[in-house]
Every structure is written in structure tokens, then in C-alpha cells.
């Protein structure tokens, strides 16, 4: 019975075991993507395996979706073996608690990657179907796309392999500038002005290939480097950022609005500064026959992170932000996304 259920899920979602993958790792990917499919089912109001349309959609409360999704996931977790550390709970945590955590995470990832939308802070709404082209005959699908033999479930997303999609879009880039050119944009197009800095700041030290959270050091106003640097207020964990530009003895600043924090665009600046320095950030990749394991060395802007999240499953734990499993047919999308940020890939 268990094998029959696993085979049916795999066939519906075009999701099969990789050549060198353990059974538990495969089960985890299967449960994760099946959970995403069921979450959309609860919002769209029909079985994801049905072919007929149902236009009587109801905007359901997010708690309704998470509660019912957790029941489905609980059944899967009881049925399929997983690694003990994939979902970590407290000492008294049971399979229900694991299912609840996983359900909440999947719904949030669906919202984050724009596979569901939310209104009035709590209501989840279905999306009209859209196709976004990435490379030759490869489309990211958002909205209610029925499963078929050319639709592949990856993480919380669906990908279509087809050469006859006429109505498609190209995803609009928030910042359509490659990392190698972003320093020039900051220098020429940001609003620079003369001003005095009187607070206590930390400065981002370029040259690190590890986590950038460890690259902020105390700033001495007597030792301002030439060119562009970024500072942040020493008493704020994630805020108070300002760019400074020192040319000879001329010091100017450019203030950064909250958008740079909200969309994690701060990291685009950090990668550009390291690129300019010649000390590119490095992401580690392990290549297997039909999939890749990607390790971020630090966070990336939301725009690029959403693309990679839509191309992958979390590795080792269900909520891992820095380790990803990428199927081979999507690696080129992920690779181009990373390289255009000005990051070096180490295989």
C-alpha cells in the first residue's frame, strides 16, 4: 500500500528518485512537493489530479489551509520514512507537531515564491495561470496548472517542458544589472551628498568568502578607505545602512531606504563590493549524476532567492535556507542566477 501511494504521487508530480539518493531523502522531497500540491488544492478547491475546472473558488483563511494540510502531512510522515533531523521538534514533539511545522512552512514558501497570494492579511487566493520562460522550452508555472507528463514538481513550484507555449512572460527584474557592473551604478546613479556621520558604525570588510554576517567590523573615521564602502549602525541588528564614498579627501554619503533591507538588496551591494575588490564570494556545489547540492555562503537578494527556491528543495532540513537540492534540468537556471550576482561557483 505504501509503495502504491508513493508511485501514484511520483507519477502525478513527475518526481522520481535520483540515482544516488537515499530512500529517506527521496521521501522528504516527495512529501514536501505533495504538501505544496495539497495546499494549492485547499485554496483552489479541487483535487490536483482532476482534469475538470472548478470556478467556484473561495478565499480561504490561512489557518484553515495550514490545519487541513497538517493532517495530510501527518499521514505522509507516518507512512514514509524520513531522516530524524529533517524536521526537528522539542523533546515532547510528535509527528503531529512535525506536520504542523511543515504545513506552516510550505504555505509561507508558496506565498514567498508567488505561487499563492494573500489578501486582508489572512485570506489566501488563487492565481490566474501564468508561464514564465527560462531558457529553451522551460517555463515556471504560477497558478492552477493540472499535472501532466511534461509538468514537473520541484520544491513548492511547478515547471513545464514545452515548445508550444505562446502566452508566456519574462520575469521582470527589479535590478537588471549584473554584479560586475553594479559598483558603477552605485557610483554614478545613487544620490550622493556631503554629510557628517556622528553615530557609531560598523563597516563591511571585503575579502571574506564565508558568511557575511561575520564581516562587519568597528569603523574608525580616521581610516576611511578610498572608493565606496557600506556602513551600518552598530546598535542595530539589521538596519541603519549607509553608503560612503571617499575620493581623495572628499567624503560623500548615500542613504539607503528600507526597501534595501526588506528585499535583501543589501546583499547585492555586498557582492558588488567584493567583486570590485577582486575577492568574489564563493558558493559551494556538489555535482551528482542527475542533481546538484548547492551551499550558499551567505544570503542573496529576494529576487534571485525566489528563483532558486522555485528550482530546488531544501537539503538536510525542511527549512534550510542555505543548502538546496537542484535537479539537473534546472541547474543552468540556478547557475546563471548565481553568476550574474558576481558570485563564483566552486565545484
pLDDT in tens, 16-37: 999 999 999 999 999 999 999 9
Interval 138-147: pLDDT, tens: 999 998 667 7
pLDDT number for residue 161:
92
pLDDT number for residue 93:
67
Q: What are the backbone dihedrals phi and psi of residue 86, each rounded to the nearest 5 degrees, phi first? A: -65, -40
In whole angstroms, give the CA distance from residue 23 to residue 334: 25
pLDDT number for residue 92:
64
Interval 306-346: pLDDT, tens: 999 999 999 999 999 999 999 999 999 999 999 999 999 99
In whole angstroms, give the CA distance from residue 22 to residue 10: 16
In whole angstroms, give the CA distance from residue 59 to residue 118: 9
Task: State percent of the chain over pLDDT 70.
Answer: 94
Range in 97-101, 135-139, 176-180 with the lowest mean pLDDT? 135-139
> Does residue 49 have a pLDDT over 60?
no
In whole angstroms, give the CA distance from residue 179 to residue 342: 4
- Dig out the grid coordinates for 36 from the structure: 505544496
> Does residue 57 have a pLDDT over 60?
no
What integer best gives the mean pLDDT of the chain? 90
- Cβ–Cβ under 8 Å, residues 201 and 176: no
**What burial class does residue 344 get, using C-beta atoms within 10 Å of its C-beta: 0-12 exposed, 13-18 middle, 19+ buried?**
middle
> Does residue 210 have a pLDDT over 80?
no
Q: How confident is the model at residue 52 (pLDDT cuts 50, 70, 90)?
A: very low
Most confident of 131-145, 162-176, 205-219, 251-265: 251-265
Crossing angle of the two packed helices 266-277 and 179-189, in degrees rounded to 10: 100
Q: How confident is the model at residue 50 (pLDDT cuts 50, 70, 90)?
A: very low
Average pLDDT over residues 37-66: 71
In whole angstroms, give the CA distance from residue 180 to residue 171: 21
Q: Integer distance in angstroms from the first to the last C-alpha of the chain?
A: 40
Interval 61-104: pLDDT, tens: 899 999 999 999 999 999 999 999 999 887 666 999 999 999 99
Chain-centroid distance of CA 327 in Å reads 15
Most confident of 8-12, 122-126, 206-210: 8-12
Range in 49-58, 122-131, 240-249, 255-264 with the lowest mean pLDDT? 49-58
For the chain, the three-class secondary structure string (H helix, E strand, C coil) is CHHHHHHHHHHHHCCCCCCCCCHHHHHHHHHHHHHHHHHHHHHHCCCCCCCCCCCCCCCEEHHHHHHHHHHHHHHHHHHCCCCCCCCCCCCCCCHHHHHHHHHHHHHHHHHHCCCCEEECCCEEECCCCEEEECCCCEEEEECCCCCCCCEEEECCEEEEECCCCCCCECCCCCCCCCHHHHHHHHHHHCCCECCCCCCCEEEECCCCCCCHHHCEEECCHHHCCCEEEEEEECCCCCCCEEEEEEECCEEEEEECCCHHHHCCCHHHHHHHHHHHHCCCCEEEEEECCCEEEEECCCCCCHHHHHHHHCCCEECCCCCCCCEEEEEHHHHHHHHHHHHHCCCEEEC
Q: How confident is the model at residue 51 (pLDDT cuts 50, 70, 90)?
A: very low
Alpha-carbon distances of 202 from 86, 161, 281, 294, 346, rounded to whole Å: 36, 48, 20, 30, 29
Range in 44-53, 116-125, 241-250, 334-343 with the lowest mean pLDDT? 44-53
pLDDT number for residue 114:
92
- Dig out the grid coordinates for 217 from the structure: 567590523
Domain boundaries, the chain: 2-127, 179-277, 282-346
> Does residue 58 have a pLDDT over 70?
no
Higher pLDDT, 234 or 184: 184
Amino acid at each position: 500500500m505504501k509503495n502504491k501511494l508513493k508511485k501514484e504521487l511520483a507519477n502525478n508530480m513527475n518526481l522520481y528518485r535520483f540515482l544516488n539518493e537515499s530512500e529517506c531523502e527521496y521521501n522528504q522531497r516527495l512529501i514536501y512537493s505533495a504538501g505544496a500540491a495539497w495546499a494549492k488544492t485547499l485554496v483552489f478547491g479541487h483535487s490536483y489530479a482532476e482534469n475538470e475546472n472548478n470556478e467556484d473558488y473561495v478565499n480561504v483563511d490561512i489557518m484553515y489551509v495550514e490545519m487541513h494540510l497538517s493532517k495530510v502531512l501527518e499521514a505522509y510522515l507516518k507512512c514514509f520514512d524520513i531522516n530524524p533531523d529533517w524536521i526537528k521538534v522539542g523533546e515532547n514533539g510528535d509527528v503531529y507537531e512535525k506536520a504542523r511545522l511543515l504545513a506552516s512552512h510550505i504555505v509561507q514558501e508558496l506565498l514567498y515564491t508567488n505561487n499563492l497570494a494573500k489578501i486582508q492579511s489572512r485570506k489566501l487566493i488563487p492565481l490566474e495561470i501564468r508561464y514564465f520562460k527560462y531558457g529553451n522550452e522551460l517555463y515556471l508555472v504560477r497558478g492552477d496548472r493540472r499535472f501532466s507528463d511534461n509538468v514537473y514538481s520541484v520544491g513548492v513550484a511547478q515547471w513545464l517542458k514545452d515548445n508550444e507555449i505562446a502566452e508566456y512572460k519574462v520575469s521582470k527584474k527589479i535590478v537588471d544589472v549584473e554584479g560586475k557592473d553594479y559598483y558603477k551604478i552605485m557610483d554614478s546613479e545613487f544620490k550622493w551628498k556631503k554629510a557628517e556621520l556622528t553615530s557609531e558604525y560598523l563597516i563591511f570588510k571585503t575579502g571574506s568568502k564565508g558568511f557575511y554576517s561575520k564581516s562587519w567590523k568597528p569603523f574608525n573615521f580616521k581610516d576611511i578607505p578610498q572608493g565606496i564602502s557600506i556602513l551600518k549602525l552598530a546598535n542595530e541588528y539589521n538596519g541603519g545602512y549607509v553608503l560612503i564614498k571617499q575620493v581623495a579627501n572628499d567624503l560623500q554619503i548615500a542613504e539607503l531606504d528600507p526597501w534595501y533591507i526588506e528585499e535583501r538588496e543589501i546583499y547585492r551591494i555586498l557582492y558588488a563590493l567584493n567583486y570590485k575588490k577582486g575577492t568574489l564570494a564563493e558558493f559551494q556545489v556538489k555535482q551528482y549524476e542527475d542533481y546538484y547540492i548547492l551551499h550558499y555562503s551567505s544570503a542573496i537578494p529576494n529576487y534571485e532567492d525566489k528563483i532558486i527556491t522555485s528550482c530546488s528543495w531544501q537539503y538536510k532540513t525542511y527549512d534550510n535556507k542555505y543548502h538546496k537540492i537542484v535537479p539537473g534540468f534546472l541547474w543552468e537556471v540556478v547557475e546563471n542566477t548565481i553568476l550574474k550576482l558576481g558570485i563564483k561557483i566552486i565545484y
